[in-house]
């Protein structure tokens, strides 16, 4: 077991947000010990953590959160002072084609983790109960779709429209119920669309970058006017740390970057950055590769997050502008194409997912 002090159990720590959080924590909180519990599904990649893998403050456990016995053993072995729950199936398109894995991991996995945490905080053997926290990381998609105006707040009604969103909404309700019924000290965050280095290439931004470099058509769903609020992953991680440290127990906090963009605008901006960083041999813009394809079922029209609560109560604001962070992201992918190639040589080659026949 690690020395006494802050011991954070991060579920899903080999994923995109989880690995970014672990790298940031080990760089900026040198006294913290991090236990990374990850099943290593297709989107879990330990290469994302090579820079910290030899740290004496980092521990990796290959664990499926649906394995109740293994989760209980983690609590017994490491006696965490907090849990940051990021383990989940996350891609909407995959949830359309195969919802079962989303129900198992996002709902039943969260239930098992909550039960393990509840038993741990009730066990007289453990001394870390007084300041224990359970931070559940969720999504703005639980709120459904917005009209042309307005933003999601912490009091917005839940109206999930995809299997993924429904599974995350269910998990949110479980977490809140375990606080109300059993007194488990929980916190919930609902974030907007993340982007940045090490994101699996099924997501919009890395998919467009890599597809453009291959000179293939750049698919935009529907008319391209679906709006998302974008958040740089490093800013999200700073927000999670702030919520864990100073958030009010039992409360939820919306985390967004105030960066509303249509999908088409994001794709066009990516093309312009690529035009600058890696021009095409024919001298034409990558925008010429944009095509419009059949929309996906249940595609929410607009998301927008109001982060006023986390800003006013906890003092968090994003440090990166969207355009600056997007340029950093494109540069990272251009500098790390071998990493991308290894992923795309596996079980995902950039094909469209979630198409209903």
Look at residue 55 and tell me if it is in a domain: yes
Specify the residue for token string 């290894």: 342
Q: Which residues contact 35 (CB under 8 A, 6 or more apart)?
A: 2, 7, 8, 9, 10, 59, 60, 61, 74, 78, 80
181: Cα within 13 Å, side-chain hemisphere: 9
100 domain-assigned: yes
Instruction: Tell me which long-range contacts 63-68 makes (C-beta under 8 A, separation of at least 24).
Output: 63/37, 63/38, 63/39, 64/39, 64/109, 65/11, 65/37, 65/39, 65/105, 65/109, 65/110, 65/112, 65/113, 66/104, 66/105, 66/108, 66/109, 66/112, 67/112, 68/112, 68/115, 68/116
The residue among 26, 269, 254, 280 whose CA lies nearest residue 143 is 254
Instruction: Please indicate, yes or no, if residue 295 is contained in any of the structural domains.
Output: no
Per-residue model confidence as pLDDT tens digits over 173-216: 999 999 999 999 999 999 999 999 999 988 999 999 999 999 99
Does some domain include residue 345? no
Spatial strand order of the sheet with 260-262 comes to 193-195, 227-232, 260-262
Q: Determine which one of 59, 78, 164, 232 is catalytic.
A: 164
Q: Is residue 206 part of a domain?
A: no
User: Which of the residues 141, 229, 234, 235 is marked catalytic?
Assistant: 141
Task: Examine the residue annotation and report whether 140 is marked as an active-site residue of this protein.
Answer: yes
Clarify whether 164 is annotated catalytic: yes
Of the listed 93, 140, 202, 260, which one is catalytic?
A: 140
Q: Is-catalytic flag, 275?
A: no
Domain extent for 117: 7-199+228-261+301-322
In which element (H, E) is residue 85 found?
strand 82-85
If you search the block for the tokens 């913290």, which residue do you land on?
Answer: 32
Domain assignment present for 58? yes
Reading the chain (357 residues) residue by residue, the pLDDT tens digits are: 566 678 999 999 999 999 999 999 999 998 999 999 999 998 899 999 999 999 999 999 999 999 999 999 999 999 999 999 999 998 888 899 899 999 999 999 999 999 999 999 998 777 666 789 999 999 999 999 999 999 999 999 999 999 999 999 999 999 999 999 999 999 999 999 999 999 998 899 999 999 999 999 999 999 999 999 999 999 999 999 999 999 999 999 999 999 999 999 999 999 999 999 999 999 999 999 999 999 888 788 999 999 999 999 999 999 999 999 999 999 999 999 999 888 876 655 555 555 554
Q: Is residue 75 part of a domain?
A: yes
The pTM of this model reads 0.94
pLDDT tens-digit map of 101-158: 999 999 999 999 999 999 999 987 776 667 899 999 999 999 999 999 999 999 999 9
CATH number of the domain enclosing 143: 3.40.50.720
Number of structural domains, the chain?
Answer: 1
Burial of 184 (0-12, 13-18, 19+ CB in 10 A): buried
Whether 349 is covered by a domain: the verdict is no
């Amino acid at each position: 077991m690690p020395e006494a002090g802050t011991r954070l159990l991060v579920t899903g720590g080999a994923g995109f947000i989880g690995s970014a959080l672990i790298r940031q924590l080990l760089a900026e909180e040198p006294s913290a010990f991090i236990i990374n519990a990850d099943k290593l599904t297709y989107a879990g990649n330990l290469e994302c953590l090579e820079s910290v893998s030899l740290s004496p403050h980092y521990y990796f456990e290959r664990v499926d959160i649906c394995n109740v016995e293994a989760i209980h053993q983690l609590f017994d072995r490491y006696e965490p002072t907090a849990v940051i729950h990021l383990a989940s199936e996350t891609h909407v398109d995959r949830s359309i084609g195969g919802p079962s894995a989303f129900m198992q991991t996002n709902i039943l996995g969260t239930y098992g983790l909550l039960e393990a945490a509840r038993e741990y905080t009730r066990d007289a053997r453990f001394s870390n109960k007084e300041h224990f926290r359970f931070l559940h990381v969720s999504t703005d998609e639980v709120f459904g779709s917005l009209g042309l105006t307005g933003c999601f707040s912490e009091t917005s009604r839940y109206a999930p429209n995809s299997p993924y969103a429904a599974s995350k909404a269910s998990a949110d309700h479980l977490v809140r119920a375990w606080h109300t019924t059993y007194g488990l000290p929980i916190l919930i965050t609902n974030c907007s669309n993340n982007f940045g280095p090490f994101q699996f290439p099924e997501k919009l931004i890395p998919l467009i970058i890599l597809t453009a470099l291959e000179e293939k058509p750049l698919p935009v769903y529907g008319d391209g006017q679906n709006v998302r609020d974008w958040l740089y992953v490093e800013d999200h991680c700073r927000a999670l740390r702030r919520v864990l440290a100073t958030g009010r127990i039992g409360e939820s906090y919306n985390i967004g970057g105030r960066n509303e963009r249509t999908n088409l605008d994001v794709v066009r901006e990516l093309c312009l950055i690529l035009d600058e960083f890696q021009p095409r041999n024919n001298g034409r813009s990558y925008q010429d590769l944009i095509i419009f394809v059949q929309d996906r079922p249940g595609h929410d029209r607009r998301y927008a997050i109001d982060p006023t609560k986390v800003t006013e109560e906890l003092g968090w604001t994003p440090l990166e502008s969207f355009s600056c962070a997007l340029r950093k992201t494109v540069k990272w992918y251009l500098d790390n194409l071998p990493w991308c190639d290894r992923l795309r040589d596996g079980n995902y080659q950039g094909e469209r997912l979630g198409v209903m026949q």
